[in-house]
Structure 1
């Protein structure tokens, strides 16, 4: 799939407008989050007093260079940072009126995958190489809904079809190594969405893919977001992706939020010097 509409730098194509009203209540709120990593003889303050939120039907992009704290922030939502050495030093992560940082592992296990799901950049590190991909998608439903094996298999097959996997019945029986990178990422998306979560966190979901497949995956995420009215948190360093897909953007630098706002406002009138430098470093594609 191609996009031949001219853009200047990472600016949004002409005619792109916010997809959802901004007056909805937030689904997921992070308030004053600080995350430390206690290493041998030192403490790394990876996330420092970060606050952000996302609403249903909205895409919030979190951008910044490597080491800015964006992935550590995303992983904190479901407490997926390795502990130790990770310590959640302060703040709250609220979903459905509950602070996820205060839930027991059992309580949080009911949220992971069912209410809030994640898609990672490298599916080969997340998919079980010894289990057929269809069974991995079905397992999410059996865990969260109590479906029978036959019911879960039928729903998993439908999920593979929904994310655009050709010949889903064949792919259902295959192992991850038998699929291309793009198909593995679609399996990851199917696994994340099969239980119909209300929030999807996508952490650099297209980094390992070629440009054509990146476009297809991003278009797929947008389509499924609209279909299921999800809130999406997109973690990325690619400002062109942000311009095409996000409604609002949070810019992080050295563990802190330095700027946040509507994508058009931030890209057209960046208030922080770091944001201006990020935009200036983005390759520009001028109209002929």
Structure 2
């Protein structure tokens, strides 16, 4: 059997077109008052339309810093992009102006973050925040955006969405806030979704529902998904390919089954050894 693993870029399947999103040689530093942290070092990650790429690694491995770099959401300062490029539709996102990038954020590339309370406006009703994405990027009228936002809240499984639409974030549980954030990310039907631990606040049953929803929408709209996670069981169930990061570098990448069955890098083997067996007893 051909081994597709490589430490420089993901495997490509015969007949694949160019990647929808391509990170090549990305390096990111955080220049602090007393030190420089090389958070991301020469990282290359590619994802195609309709494909899920999972990026795994322990805390501090650089996976979230790499993901945030796609939309230039790392705080600057102290963040400095020192090398590489991030191409979407043939354009290097690192070279776009803030105005140009603003047209892409939330419309073509959307992101679900770990903590919804850092992303939702505490002074605005949640339904209005979902509708605002549509009014900003699609030109919908207020009434049209409100109707679509209500449907989005229902789609992610929020009970009594009409009532929740009028509530503020602090009136919702952590799980419901997470669902609102997912609805906000998906309502404009982005071509790429970056999900940074998207089910952190949810219990196991709801986590499964949300992951199933993401897969359904991905297939329906041929959406590329970059899934940042520490949960290897989620990776095994949802991802096509996996990239393993350690100390700011990609140490292994390939098809999920190949990497899980025959890990080539010692760090990958350590991660798998520390995880409960994924197959049934």
TM-score w.r.t. length of structure 1: 0.90
Q: In structure 2, how many angstroms separate the alpha carbons of the residues matched to 1:285 and 1:192?
A: 30
Equivalent residue number for residue 104 of structure 1 = 97
Q: Given the alignment, which residue of 189, 207, 210 partners 1:217?
A: 210
CA distance in 2 between partners of 1:21 and 1:112 (Å): 31
Residues 235, 286 of structure 1: alpha-carbon distance in 2 compared, 3 angstrom cutoff: closer
Q: Which residue of 2 aligns with 1:146?
A: 139
Task: Report the counterpart of residue 233 of structure 1 in structure 2.
Answer: 226
Distance 1:32 1:277, change over 3 A: same
Structure 1 residue 277 displacement after superposition: 0.6
The alpha carbon displacement at 1:108 in A equals: 0.3
Q: What SS does the aligned partner of 2:20 have?
A: strand
1:205 has 2:198 as partner: yes
Say yes or no: does 1:35 pair with 2:28: yes
Is 1:138–1:155's contact at 8 Å kept on the other side of the alignment? yes
Q: When the two structures are aligned, how many residues end up with a matched partner?
A: 269
Among 108, 111, 124, the alignment partner of 1:115 is 108
Matched, 1:83 2:76: yes
Post-superposition CA distance 1:256-284 (Å, at most 9, x none) = 00000000000001111110010000023
Higher deviation after alignment, 111-120 or 153-162 = 153-162
1:58 corresponding residue in structure 2: 51
Picking from 268, 273, 278, the partner of 1:280 is 273
> Which of 148, 163, 166 is equivalent to 1:173?
166
Secondary structure at the counterpart of residue 188 of structure 1: helix
Check 1:257–1:285 CA distance in 2 against 1; reply closer, same or farther (3 A cut): closer
Report the CA distance shift for 1:208/1:167 in structure 2 as closer, same or farther (over 3 A): closer
- Deviation at 1:24? 3.5
Report the more deviating stretch, 100-109 or 125-134. 125-134
1:69 equivalenced with 2:62 (yes/no): yes
Q: Corresponding residue for 2:19?
A: 26
Per-residue deviation, 1:286: 6.2
Tell me, in whole angstroms, the C-alpha distance in 2 between the residues paired with 1:238 and 1:185: 18
Spell out, residue by residue over 1:218-243, the C-alpha distance to the aligned partner (whole angstroms, 9 max, x if none). Answer: 12211221122100000011111100
Residue ranges of structure 2 left out of the alignment (5+ in a row): 1-12
What is the distance in 1 between the residues matched to 2:204 and 2:59? 20
Q: Deviations along 1:103-149, whole A, 9 cap, x unmatched?
A: 00000000000000000111122111111110000011111122221
**1:195 maps to what in 2?**
188
Q: Residue 186 of structure 1 is aligned with which of 179, 190, 200?
A: 179
In structure 2, distance between residues paired with 1:176 and 1:134: 10
Root-mean-square deviation over aligned CA pairs: 1.5
Take 1:214 and 1:23, find their aligned partners in 2: how far apart are those partners?
31
Q: Partners of 1:21 and 1:171 in 2: how far apart?
A: 46
